[in-house]
Amino acid sequence: MSHDAMMTDAHGGSARQGLNGVVTDWSADKQAFAVPWGKAMMWIFLLSDTFIFSCFLTSYMNVRMSTTAKWPNPSEVFSLDVGGHPVPLLLIAIMTMVLITSSGTMAMAVNYGYRRNRKHTALLMLATALLGVCFVSMQAFEWTKLIVHEGVRPWGNPMGAAQFGSSFFMITGFHGLHVSAGVIYLLTVANRVRTGFYDRKGSYETVEVAGLYWHFVDLVWVFIFAFFYLW
């Protein structure tokens, strides 16, 4: 074959030029970046989820700024009585700390997964899932307080703007659904770690993929906390 029809690629192999070269490359199993399919698909899913949460928060901000009715004060709505005195955002602060702590335990689980330490990886993933359960439980308590004691509904709100209820239940409910799904996901992966499934597979990549999902859920909560509870 002539020199004009061939060239040397970056890996030292020969690559075809012209239309035949394009056909050869597209029909071959080529990889520009060595990214596992599981991780790539998780990134695509998280990107699509980012768009959804962005739409929710943008819509909330638009409603918040355009409504003419009085918007309830989050410090008063989400306060807890401690010793007969209301403490603003106490439950929300605890929920935030729980979720941030779970992000730390998940990062440690991924680290031990890299080391193929099955025991520590499984225990840390279990701890992360338990923290997630605590978060969802506190969120259920928060919903119960608003619905039963405060009378807030998705279609109405006795404390002011009716859009408060719909925005709150939509955004926090969608996030809580993600946390609940993440808990189930973590428990499933932790059980596989415990039984040695990934040792036999030869890779703990799924632990890292689960960590990506959980960190995303934690990051979204930071934005919800800032825009909904502090604004």
Q: Distance between CA atoms of 142 and 104, rounded to whole angstroms? A: 24
Residue from 150, 146, 137 nearest 169 by CA: 146
State the DSSP code for 64: H
Buried b (16+ CB within 10 A) or exposed e, 75-98: eebbbbeeeeeeeebebbeebbeb
The rounded average pLDDT for each run of 10 residues, N- to C-terminus, in the chain (231 residues) is 46 61 73 78 96 95 91 89 89 96 97 95 98 97 92 86 92 97 98 95 94 97 93 84
The interaxial angle of helices 90-114 and 118-144, nearest 10 deg, is 160
As given in the structure block, the two tokens for residue 137 are 């439980």
pLDDT of residue 12: 44
The full 3-state SS of 53-110, as one line of letters, equals: HHHHHHHHHHHHHHCCCCCCCHHHHCCEEECCEEECCHHHHHHHHHHHHHHHHHHHHH
pLDDT of residue 6: 46
pLDDT of residue 5: 45
pLDDT of residue 30: 66
Question: Residue 205 is which amino acid?
Answer: E
Query: What stretches of the chain adopt beta strand conformation (E)?
Result: 6-8, 14-16, 80-82, 85-87
pLDDT of residue 8: 47
pLDDT of residue 4: 46
As given in the structure block, the two tokens for residue 210 are 């689960």
Q: Distance between CA atoms of 95 and 197, rounded to whole angstroms? A: 33
Domains of the chain, first to last? 1-30 (no CATH), 37-229 (1.20.120.80)
pTM of the model: 0.85
